[in-house]
Amino acid sequence: MTKPAISLVLCDLDGTLLNGESKLSKRNREALAAVANTGVKVGIASGRDAYSIYEMVKSWEATDFISVIVAQNGAEFFDVETQAIRTSHLVEPDAFRRVMSHFSDLPVNFLIAEKGTYLAPFEDESLKRMAEWGQFKLGVDPNYDRLLTNPQAKLHLMCDPALMPGVIEHARTFSDPRLKGVRTGPQLFEYQDPALSKWNGVELAAEYFGIDPINNVMAFGDAENDLEMIRHVGVGVAMENACEDVKAVAGYHTSSNLDDGVAAFLAKWFELDI
């Protein structure tokens, strides 16, 4: 069987490319660099925003081989070399205003990403917990209306993890066809366009580079927000630690993120000497 001609490799971050300490391992780093040296574009596909991912890539000193970022679950495409950014499936601000009004009686806070910083309207214990987690650059902007004058990709809700069941229950009483709400962590619940998925970001990247989004793309993932991407690309790879739905649609499988599953698959597929 002839292998698809891969022009772009995309990796989810948490649970996929990063290890249990949210770090890029030496082996995964070497594998990505080796693939890039063959002329294949290498990138990240994440729920985080493009600018915060870009800062992460810079901190890895990896901008010479990671050239593509699909961010905000597919709402953003970012070219690392040119800094060009394209967007799709943004949500009109009045929809997010409705969400904030609906949850105004609950002890929750909100986050909207702006060029790598996740801004909240006020400081509270939820924001302090997020800061302790250390995964995002955080800030407070009391003039939150400024962020709700233009379309945005996501609105995140933060709460005490013990209160999340109540947030989920309250979300069931909110309806807007422009929005889909989903829990994304113990203390995070987010709203976005219901049609948005990382696959949309793959299509943006493929159009930008002039490649076939199905036959020329390989992608790695583990979670529900990776499912459509893994389903549609030519080589969709599920991690051993992936959820069952992702494993079911993946054409290929590899070892877990704790065992450098991305590097293991890339080494075999591209016949890398690493």
pLDDT mean over 44-59 = 94
Q: Which residue ranges make up each domain of the chain?
A: 8-88+196-269, 93-192
Residue 44 pLDDT > 80, yes or no? Answer: yes
pLDDT mean over 31-37 = 98
Contacts of 3 (CB under 8 A, 6+ apart): 269
Whether domain 93-192 has CATH 3.30.1240.10: the reply is yes
pLDDT at residue number 129: 86
pLDDT mean over 150-160 = 96
pLDDT, the chain, mean:
95
Segment 196-250, tens digit of pLDDT: 999 999 999 999 999 999 999 999 999 988 999 999 999 999 999 999 999 999 9
pLDDT at residue number 12: 96
Closest CA to 191 of 72, 104, 80: 72
Counting Cα atoms < 13 Å in the Cβ hemisphere of 255 gives 12
Residue 1 pLDDT > 70, yes or no? Answer: no
Segment 88-109, tens digit of pLDDT: 999 999 999 999 999 999 999 9
Residue 134 pLDDT > 80, yes or no? Answer: no
Percent of residues, the chain, with pLDDT higher than 70: 99
The dotted CATH code for 8-88+196-269 is 3.40.50.1000
SS3 196: coil
Q: Is 181 exposed, middle or buried (0-12, 13-18, 19+ CB in 10 A)?
A: buried
Residue 26 pLDDT > 90, yes or no? Answer: yes
Closest CA to 38 of 9, 1, 3: 9
Percent of residues, the chain, with pLDDT higher than 90: 87
Cα separation, 257 vs 135, in Å, equals 18
Q: What is the DSSP letter of 2?
A: P
- 8-88+196-269 with 93-192: one CATH topology? no
pLDDT at residue number 190: 93
Entry pTM: 0.90
pLDDT at residue number 249: 98
